[in-house]
Each structure stands twice: as structure tokens, then as C-alpha cells.
Amino acid sequence: MRKKVALSACLAGKNCRYNGERKGNPEVVAHLEKEGYEIIEFCPEDTCFGTPREAMDLVRTDEGIKALTKFSKTDRTLPVVEYAENFFSRHPDIDFFVGKARSPSCGVATALLYDEEGNLLSDTEAGIMAAEALARGIEAADDEKLLKFNKNS
Ligand code: SF4
């Protein structure tokens, strides 16, 4: 049976980013295909909130880390958590997770975390969907790191 990789759909070329812009990473797709992976695409934000949509940030609050929209400060944490749980329940045999670097949903070790005043606290966080993958023990990488690692190895 082929190995399965969960891949941020925007990296596969789907125009699901918050502003509808296309920002695929064909090098990553080609690398995963060469490695023999079956690619399973996902996009929690497009599914839950549609495209285009207000961008969101990870914010440390008194109630823990939340995904809040940039300007209206709407809490979008729960739908993304539920999407992630459902996705991995539907695909219990995912071997690898590749997320879009710096995304509050998909970044693996590059998501940005702010305080409630908008000050940057960290740029090495896991986004909400990536955190669920890591909690399930799935190996995971940001797209940019995956390519850098393979170029250097
Ligand atoms: S980074 Fe994740 S949530 Fe954002 S557009 Fe890509 S797949 Fe969707």
C-alpha cells in the first residue's frame, strides 16, 4: 500500500488562501510524488470559512492560544480544531504531514504567535491543524523546511 501524506491544499495549487491568491509549491508536490506518496489535500480554513476570508492569527489569551481574525478578532479556533479531528479520524493511516510554513492552521514549526496587543511572541509554533497531527504522533514538516532539508542532504 502507498504511503500517504496530508498536504496543505494551497501548496498543491488550490486557490484557497485567505485572499484567494494561488501560491502552490510544485517542487514540494514533485518531491512527494517522487517519494511515492499518495497526496491527501486539506484546507481547514477554506472548508470552514470560505475563500476569500479575513486572515487570522494565533493569539495567546487568558484562555489559551486561540485563532482570532486579524481585524474583527472573531474566534475561529473551534471549527479548525473540529476540522482537524475529523480529517485525521477519516484518514487514520496518514504517514506524513506537510503544512504551509507560517500558517496559523498549517504551519508545523513556523506559525507566528502574538499577544493580545499584537506583539510577536514566537515564530516557531505549530498551527492548529499541524498541532493535531503532531499530537497524533504523525511526522510533520513545513514545506520550506522539507525542501531545504532535501537540498542539503
Ligand atoms: S495554509 Fe492551510 S488553511 Fe491556509 S490556505 Fe493553505 S491549506 Fe488552507
pLDDT string in tens for the chain (153-residue length): 899 999 999 999 999 999 999 889 999 999 999 999 999 999 999 999 999 999 999 999 999 999 999 999 999 999 999 999 999 999 999 999 999 999 999 999 999 999 999 999 999 999 999 999 999 999 999 999 998 766 554
Phi, psi of 124 (to 5 degrees): -130, 30
Dig out the grid coordinates for 100 from the structure. 504551509
Phi, psi of 122 (to 5 degrees): -160, 150
Residue 98 and residue 12 in contact, taking contact as beta carbons nearer than 8 Å: no
From 11, 43, 83, give the residue whose CB has the most ligand 1 atoms within 8 Å, as the site to mutate: 43
Pocket of ligand 1 contains residue 12 by CB under 6 Å: no
Give every strand in the sheet of 120-125, ordered side by side: 64-69, 56-61, 111-114, 120-125
pTM above 0.85, yes or no: yes
Atom of ligand 1 nearest to the CA of 129: 2
Measure the CA angle with vertex 85, ends 80 and 86; round to 5°: 95
Atom of ligand 1 nearest to the CA of 8: 7
Atom of ligand 1 nearest to the CA of 45: 3
The domain locations on the chain are 4-52+77-111+124-152
